Amino acid sequence: MRYLTVALTKGRLARQTLDLFERCGIDTAGAMDKDTRKLIFTNEELGLRFFLAKGPDVPTYVYYGAADIGIVGRDTIIEENKKLYEVLDLGFGRCRMCVCGPASAKKYLDSGEMIRVATKYPAITKDYFLNKKHQTVEIIKLNGSIELAPIVGLSEVIVDIVETGSTLKANGLEVLDEVIPLSARMVVNQVSMKMENERISEIITRLRNELQKQNA
């Protein structure tokens, strides 16, 4: 039997996903062990392999078929824009992509002025300002701690993920507009979906049933 390979987003998303698999009766072969430095975990009995990757790399592994299945945030799926099947909303990792800044920056959004926007998500930001707001902006790509940008004068606003809102609050910023709602999704390689349809569909069904049970 060929291994079915599942790429997980390192961190909290991976832990929640592995927990869901375990609740479905799918043994995740020690991938839950926090202290391990191993990157790949094999369940020989089911012919399943799990590995942990950085979020933006998950769609890449799945697109090239190095993983058949990926679990990743909707933000990353949209930003990476690879041809994949998105088959299931896992419901966790719920948050929002928002335009944020100091309250005083709201006027820049209403006026349609040329402003600078710092973000880890340039494609989503470009689509939002160009196609939805019809506002020309300069996008500055950062790799983290995006909230710093308007504080130190790098940009007027940011486009970033807001979950509890506590990072914004702690830095005197607020949500100025919502871009898209987000949560963890399951994606599948398009060839794998045809070649391994039965096994992949079985996994989707088991996960979906468990999620429905949990929400009932």
Q: Using CB positions, name the residue nearest to ligand PRP.
A: 144
178 binds ligand PRP (CB under 6 A): no
Q: Least CB distance from residue 159 to ligand PRP, whole Å? A: 10
Number of residues that bind ligand PRP (CB under 6 A): 12
What is the pattern of x (binds ligand PRP, CB under 6 A) and - over residues 132-151? ------------xxxx----
Q: Does 176 bind ligand PRP (CB under 6 A)?
A: no
Residue from 165, 171, 183, 210 in contact with ligand PRP (CB under 6 A): 165
Phi-psi region of 103 (alpha: psi -120 to 50; beta: other; left: phi over 0): alpha
164 touches ligand PRP by CB under 6 A: yes
User: Which CB, 68 or 75, lies closer to ligand PRP?
Assistant: 75
Rounded to whole angstroms, the maximal C-alpha distance in the chain is: 61
> Does the footprint of ligand PRP cover residue 152 (CB under 6 A)?
no
On whether the CB atoms of residues 60 and 175 are closer than 8 A, the answer is no
Which spans of this chain sit near ligand PRP (rule: CB under 6 A)?
A: 144-147, 160-167
